[in-house]
Amino acid sequence: MRSRMSSFIAVGLVVVATVSASHLMAQAQNDEQLLKVRESVWRAWFANDTKVLEKLVPAETIVISSGEKEWKKQADVFRGAADFHAKGGKLIRLEFPRTEVQHFGDVAVTYSQYLYELEVEGKRSVTSGRVTEVFVMRNGQWTNPGWHTDEEK
């Protein structure tokens, strides 16, 4: 009887380990897709890529930016990207040195450190800080309907 029970327990542990491993692999792939979307949103903003922004930044977007009194909506995000591009602004470097992800069903929240280097009117500047971003899975695509940034001083 003990032998049968030991075999049953061993098989059960293998099944649990296999299910856990495949769940972790699926979660890692999902996070990889999520982080690609996150970077696409940032790069699309700096490049004023309206096609990508329209796809990934939905109408109900709310943005809270460091040092700015007013909260922004989708139209403000698009306008800011157009203004940056109109001034000849260029993204030189974009990094996310640290990111943590939490999942809540079809919603994910990322907490990241960011650093970007820009060139505007021939002058380069580096900005770094933290960002909390909300992502929602819609029709198989991550969207980014909100974020809050703060700059490091």
We report the CATH number of the domain holding residue 36 as 3.10.450.50
Condensed to tens digits (0 to 9), the pLDDT of residues 93-144 reads 999 999 999 999 999 999 999 999 999 999 999 999 999 999 999 999 999 9
Return the pLDDT at 152.
78
Could you tell me the residue range of the domain that residue 56 belongs to?
Answer: 2-151
| Average pLDDT over every residue of 6-26 | 54
The whole-angstrom separation of Cα 27 and Cα 20 is: 10
Average pLDDT score over residue span 56-78: 96
Mean pLDDT of 17-41: 75
* Number of separate domains in the chain: 1
Burial of 114 (0-12, 13-18, 19+ CB in 10 A): buried
**pLDDT at 76 > cutoff 70:** yes
Q: pLDDT band for position 28 (50/70/90)?
A: low
Which candidate, 59, 76, 57, places its Cα nearest to that of 134?
57
Structure tokens at 41: 């949103």
pTM over 0.95: no
Rounded-to-5 percentages of helix, strand, coil across the chain: 45, 40, 20
